[in-house]
Amino acid sequence: MSDPLLAKLLADRNCSLASPDPAIWIHLASESELASEAARIKERADRGVDMPLKGLTFAVKDNIDVVGWPTTAACPDFSYVATEDAPVVALLREAGAVPLGKTNLDQFATGLVGTRSPYGAVRNVFSKAHVSGGSSSGSAAAVARSQVDFALGTDTAGSGRVPASFGALWGLKPTRGLWSTRGVVPACRSLDCVSVLTRDPDLAETVWQILSQIDPSHAWSRSFPASSPSKLPSAFRFGIPRGGVPFLADPLWVPLWEQAIESLRARGGTPVEIDFAPFEETARLLYEGPWTAERWADLGGFVSSHPSSVHPVTKTILEKGQIPTASQAFTSLHRLRELQAQVEATFADIDLLALPTAGHLPTLEEVSCDPIGENSFLGRGTNFCNLLDLCAFAVPAGFDPRGLPFGITLFAPAYHDQVLIQAAHRLIDSPRSNGRMELAVAGLHLRGEPLNHELTSRGGHLVRTTRTSSDYKCYRIVRGERRFPGLVRSGSGSPIEVEIWSLPMAGAGSFLATCVRPPLCLGTLELEDGTTAMGFLCEDWAVEGMEDITASGSWRKSKNDNPPGGRSTSS
């Protein structure tokens, strides 16, 4: 295909169509729509328009409007076709990004588990037995599986941070009102936020800069004060709960939490024990207090007229909104202001609050047995955020011995978003400090392939898709039940599709130490544009008697019956 941008867009679409989890997507852009987007971007580029997200694809949680596409909020009978883009979508398009489709969610953005949808439960990328987290379940999974470059979610009670943590992603929830929520189906209108999920903090920061604009047409929009702090001090103080995290229930996550504290300490932080009780009491107010009435105010009419259309658990939660009285609402508002004052005093002594994003990662079976209880437990470290007017950044923080991801969340007062972004960059070897390396892969580590998570879980993100020069041949290597490609530089062959991935140095070291085994070795690949990249090559002896698949030009096109799962030495 002559247009590299359109080729990328179609490759992302094909990767999504071939997804091992059919519950991720509710709607995908058509090939003609992507061709139109590519032509629009090219025309603007030819005019010299600056587009910082040029050609990147993003997923849109299906409670956010995209013009001409249905918005379902994971309820087919609620569906309507949007007549215009939500401002967050419009701004991303202006920056050159392309919406690839609409993603699944806990119905009406009510849930933290990712299972409350008629379109199916989104599976955890790292374990089919565990939940993906919600409500932005499809958005997180699309990014974790590298089907898109980033995704929009929403976050009223943790719906952007929990699935980010369970997908080993970065999930930025900005200051409430800083990103317009016009064109978003309300969950709790006064608290709703749009969030972004990415595979690295740099992209999250770029999206934050693009979307942090006042929306004069939206009553809940807030402008970013010029006086807001933009730097995290070199020596900073971060709060942790006095006496330990009360909701950290998984013993395998305790050492990961301790490592996260040490990581912050090593980067200039001093842990300060704080009283966590005001945060916990605030968290309980969200679903045990009168804020359920705000959900009912927006959605109650539909629920009452379409009771069989609503997921049973979602319906139970929403119907609680009929119970609170006006006097209860004012009592809770007064108590919330008292709690806010206590939290403001806490933040006068610390720069950040650090917490595990969740206390454990429940299985699908556990959620099925206790859908409301498990969901409530997941919210103990998240529900308080918007009621207390905090911004938050969910950060991946390693894997436990089972291979399940653990994450922490950093919190700061409203308009301290840039402080959180600075802190996130301290926790990794950021690309801005050249602390990354690029690696070319051609087989089981490609997007959508069984071992791609070995790149994404180490902070890897896709840079581009390209091809080798015509000096290479590719063979299907068979070792027992394993099948993987072997690239050999022969001097005569055909271009072979490869993906260039960027990894932080620490992640790259771990990847190379555990994933490069004979007959594969690292070498320099010559690419079709004349540049070079480090990548996987195969020793000559290993291709003897193996099938030559060079003519296919791609492992994806050539493979058949490639065994899923398991560890491989393939690239």
Catalytic residue numbers? 61, 135, 159
The residues, ordered by sequence, that sit 6+ positions from 306 with a Cβ below 8 Å of its Cβ are: 77, 78
Q: For residue 176, what are its two tokens?
A: 């409430």
Tell which phi-psi region holds residue 120, choosing left (phi > 0), alpha (psi between -120 and 50) or beta: left
Q: Are 387 and 336 in contact (CB under 8 A)?
A: yes
d(CA 233, CA 444): 42
Per-position b or e across 445-484, b if 16+ CB within 10 A of its CB: bbbbbbbbbbbbbbbbbbeebbbbbebbbbbbbeeeeebb
Opening angle at CA 345, ends 281 and 158, nearest 5: 45
How many residues comprise the chain? 571
User: Sheet holding 547-548: strands in order across?
Assistant: 482-489, 472-479, 547-548
Closest alpha carbon to 536 in 561, 518, 550, 558: 518
Of all helices (H) and strands (E), which one includes residue 515?
helix 505-515
Residues of the chain by 3-state class (helix, strand, coil), percent to 5? 35, 25, 40
The residue written with tokens 């892969």 in the block is 441
Rounded to 5 degrees, φ, ψ at 376 are -60, -40
Closest alpha carbon to 549 in 493, 468, 496, 475: 475
Q: Burial of 51 by CB count in 10 Å (0-12 exposed, 13-18 middle, 19+ buried)?
A: middle
Determine if the peptide bond prior to 135 is cis (ω within 30°): yes
Rounded to 5 degrees, φ, ψ at 279 are -70, -45
